[in-house]
């Protein structure tokens, strides 16, 4: 198994809930927890993609659409910044933890 670099969250995200987010190793993030995606290009352009707005406008598979975008512009993209909806993520983790702990009693 290849040795993967730990993908930690940026400090701006960790600040929302340091007890949990500080030690989180991120490999995959479901679209439901993304607020937006910021794509940086080698010519200095930046595209901001609002996930909720894109879901409403694009009734097809948003994940597939993003994948096609990344494939098409792969040679000119310098960075992709996935912006988490930290409020929703924190709420869901808290609720699921409570549910899990109740079942263990």
Mean pLDDT of 85-105: 82
* pTM score: 0.63
CA distances from 8 to 17, 24, 36, 48, 83 (A): 14, 6, 18, 22, 13
Q: What is the pLDDT of residue 94?
A: 85
Lowest mean pLDDT segment, chosen from 23-27, 29-33, 93-97: 23-27
Mean pLDDT of 81-102: 84
């Amino acid at each position: 198994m290849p040795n993967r670099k730990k993908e930690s969250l940026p400090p701006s995200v960790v600040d929302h809930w340091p007890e949990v987010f500080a030690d989180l190793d991120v490999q995959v993030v479901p679209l439901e927890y993304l607020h937006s995606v910021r794509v940086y290009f080698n010519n200095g352009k930046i595209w901001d993609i609002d996930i909720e707005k894109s879901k409403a406008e694009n009734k097809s598979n948003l994940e597939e659409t993003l994948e096609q975008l990344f494939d098409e512009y792969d040679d000119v993209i310098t960075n992709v910044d996935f912006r988490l909806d930290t409020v929703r993520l924190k709420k869901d983790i808290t609720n699921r933890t409570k549910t899990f702990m109740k079942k263990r009693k």
